[in-house]
Amino acid sequence: MANFVFSSVSKIFGQNTSEYVALDKVNFEAKSGQLIVVVGPSGSGKTTFLTIAGGLQTPTSGRVMISGQSITELTKKAQAQLRLEKIGFILQSYNLVPFLSVKEQFTLIHKIKKDNMSTHELNQLLDDLGILALKEKYPSQLSGGQKQRVAIARALYTNPEYILADEPTAALDTERSLEVMMLLKKLAHQHNKLIIVVTHDLRLKEMADKVYQIIDGKMSTLS
């Protein structure tokens, strides 16, 4: 059974003459154990797709099912609970809390949700991402690539079933990008996660189990 199902999902911004169709009757299905890459040029609708998939935005029409639940029919509170329990987001803005050290970014999550990685597992992950030595640093002391890797670690820390990543390698060099994609692929295959990466970087296609393309809000299968 598919874990993520989009049925004819559209998102229209604006009204009347200034209407903009950011997603146009998108149909999409994905199940756990896969690394999905969605490619498309700037402005094609990738972030809109990802944020609707995670219930951060509501579609104008159509239905989004996650784990058999129609998220559009859930209350805001139930949506937030579903996100907290099941979804890890890696967003372009990183969303790190500026006045907390790297270590404290994780402590904060632990206050909200238990059942996360152990300290040993977290240290291993930070080491794999090459940021273990940065645990006491604050976001303003980190480079873009380091912040991006902290954001990746934070998304994985809660052991979510689903990981939704918006340009997760944008601030990384080629070698690091490859390492991050390998890590995501390993998580999908060995830990049965569903990972959806949206990107304009066509090189990431090679790492995917399945590739989709979005152009002008229309989604199609590439491979």
Ligand X SMILES: Nc1ncnc2c1ncn2[C@@H]1O[C@H](COP(=O)(O)OP(=O)(O)OP(=O)(O)O)[C@@H](O)[C@H]1O
Amino acid letter for position 156: L
Beta bridge partners of 213: 39, 220
Q: Identify which of residues 24 and 104 has a Cβ nearer to ligand X in the complex.
A: 24
Packed helices 119-128 and 144-157: angle between N→C axes, nearest 10 degrees: 150
Measured in degrees and rounded to the nearest 5, phi and psi for residue 132 equal -60, -40
Q: How many residues bind ligand X (CB under 6 A)?
A: 12
* Minimum distance, C-beta of residue 44 to ligand X, in the bound complex (Å): 4
Q: Which helix (H) or strand (E) holds 104?
A: helix 102-112
Closest separation between CB of residue 54 and ligand X, Å? 13
Binding part of the chain for ligand X, among 41-49, 70-78, 81-89, 183-191 by CB under 6 A, reads 41-49
The span from the CA of 104 to the CA of 38, in Å, is: 32
Nearest distance from C-beta of residue 113 to ligand X, angstroms: 28
DSSP state of 202: G
Candidate segments 44-52, 104-112, 132-140, 169-177, binder of ligand X by CB under 6 A: 44-52
Tokens 């803005």, residue?
93
Residue choice 19, 20, 108, 215 for contact with ligand X (CB under 6 A): 20
The site for ligand X (CB under 6 A) is made up of: 13, 20, 22, 40, 42-48, 200
